[in-house]
């Protein structure tokens, strides 16, 4: 079986990279789309970090931490931000900062929803594992061709040997053989359908028949169609019913594309600089399975406690299903990044998880993601006193 090669810094958990040729490219292409990014940092399973703590009923101050978050936001001109931290799978901290809508002075609340970009991929990954656990698909199944999950409904026959060899697991592990040369097709003309994107990739993009790891948004787009085929539901409906609802998550949705398509409680997204690529010039709905979800930091915190292989909250899948890269690592980080969005989901150690979402990213997305992680990691690693609460129970 082909093994996943992990790249240092998520995906995932996130929005994560040689060359290829195409015969034709679409006539309309988004230029400089500031493509979504995933980065993963992982360390082998080890002893959990032990921290002294004093738990009690008196309020515990996070004043210094919140001042650091505010300073970070000022430095990177972030309009709005949410952060949630869990300890032993209990939500011990959730806080919203800044504005969901600067022009109308609407503050971010704990119920505000943000695009999460490539943190959508772990959700798709878990959905594929669920389908496999339920016997609806084998991860070794071929995707295309007469015997493939998607059959021959996409592209032009006959398929090349490289296309016929792609398995579900290859897509999960970013080993399909496709690349983003000459550009990431998921940021092509927003009017193009999944059918048209598939035809371009299958018919015109070179595929490496002995592939190595290559991070590819399109691969997770294909997995979304596999989920639809095997479940006879839309991708969004399957995930909401079979993954999110059992976790107690009810507000997560696939986002819209334009400012007018914002749903209730969704923030406004801001470009990194004036005149840069607009957050509203992308087809986010088409990105569904690789970058289309909107959520709150609290939603993401609830998601991670159901997949983190700890015992206080039952996981959505058996441990043997989750015992695979990257979920089987002692700590992992998945980041997400799109124009107007930056996000982080982290299993920080064997005690703490956290999530953070913003409605802006810097022109150098890695800088803003690394900076916010540094603030939160330092707080977790140095604080010895945490509230004896579980804010999940306040819903």
Predicted confidence (pLDDT) per residue in 177-211, tens digit: 999 999 999 999 999 999 999 999 999 999 998 89
User: Taken in order 376, 298, 281, 269, is the CA torsion positive or negative?
Assistant: negative
Q: State percent of the chain over pLDDT 90.
A: 78
Average pLDDT for consecutive 10-residue bins of the chain (395 residues)?
35 34 31 46 43 57 98 98 99 99 98 99 98 97 98 97 97 97 96 97 93 96 99 99 99 98 98 85 98 99 97 94 77 95 97 98 92 98 97 89
Cβ neighbours around 181 below 10 Å, total:
14
Q: How is domain 41-394 classified at the CATH fold level? A: Beta-lactamase (3.40.710)
Predicted confidence (pLDDT) per residue in 122-150, tens digit: 999 999 999 999 999 999 999 999 999 99
Residues 6+ apart with CB under 8 A from 333: 9, 10, 13, 14, 39, 40, 41, 42, 344, 345, 346, 347, 373
Predicted confidence (pLDDT) per residue in 286-296, tens digit: 999 999 999 99
Q: Compute the distance between CA of residue 50 and CA of residue 384 in angstroms, rounded to an integer.
A: 10
Predicted confidence (pLDDT) per residue in 213-248, tens digit: 999 999 999 999 999 999 999 999 999 999 999 999
C-alpha closest to that of 390 among 123, 66, 55: 55
Going across the sheet that includes 293-295, the strands are: 114-115, 293-295, 253-254
Model confidence, pTM: 0.88
pLDDT value at position 29?
Answer: 34
Tokens of 117: 């970009």
Q: Compute the distance between CA of residue 306 and CA of residue 317 in angstroms, rounded to an integer.
A: 8
């Amino acid at each position: 079986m082909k093994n996943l090669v992990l790249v240092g810094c998520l995906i995932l958990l996130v929005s994560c990279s040689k060359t290829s040729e195409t015969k034709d490219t679409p006539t309309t292409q988004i230029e400089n789309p500031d493509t979504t990014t995933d980065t993963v940092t992982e360390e082998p399973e080890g002893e959990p970090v032990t921290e002294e703590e004093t738990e009690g009923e008196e309020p515990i101050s996070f004043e210094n931490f919140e001042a650091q978050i505010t300073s970070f936001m000022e430095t990177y001109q972030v309009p709005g931000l949410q952060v949630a931290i869990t300890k032993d799978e209990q939500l011990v901290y959730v806080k919203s900062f800044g504005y969901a809508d600067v022009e109308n002075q609407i503050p971010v609340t704990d119920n505000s929803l943000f695009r999460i970009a490539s943190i959508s991929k772990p959700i798709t990954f878990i959905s594929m594992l669920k389908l496999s656990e339920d016997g609806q698909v084998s991860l070794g199944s071929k995707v295309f061709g007469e015997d493939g999950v998607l059959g021959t409904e996409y592209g032009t026959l006959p398929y090349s040997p490289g296309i016929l060899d792609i398995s579900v697991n290859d897509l999960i592990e970013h080993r399909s053989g496709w690349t983003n040369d000459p550009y990431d097709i998921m940021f092509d003309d927003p009017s193009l359908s999944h059918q048209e994107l598939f035809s371009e990739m299958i018919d015109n993009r070179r595929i490496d028949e002995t592939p190595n790891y290559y991070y590819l948004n399109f691969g997770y787009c294909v997995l979304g169609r596999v989920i639809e085929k095997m479940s006879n539901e839309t991708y969004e409906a399957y995930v909401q019913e079979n993954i999110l609802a059992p976790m107690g998550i009810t507000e997560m949705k696939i986002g819209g594309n334009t400012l007018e398509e914002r749903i209730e409680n969704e923030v406004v997204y801001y470009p990194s600089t004036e005149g840069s690529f607009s957050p509203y010039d992308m087809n986010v709905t088409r990105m569904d399975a690789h970058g289309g979800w909107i959520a709150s930091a609290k939603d993401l915190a609830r998601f991670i406690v159901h997949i983190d292989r700890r015992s206080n909250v039952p996981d959505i899948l058996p441990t043997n299903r989750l015992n695979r890269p990257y979920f089987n690592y002692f700590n992992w980080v998945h980041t997400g990044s799109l124009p107007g969005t930056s996000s982080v989901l982290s299993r920080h150690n064997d005690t703490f998880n956290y999530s953070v979402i913003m409605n802006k990213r810097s022109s150098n997305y890695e800088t803003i993601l690394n900076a916010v992680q540094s603030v939160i990691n330092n707080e977790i690693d140095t604080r010895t006193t945490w509230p004896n609460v579980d804010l999940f129970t306040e819903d």
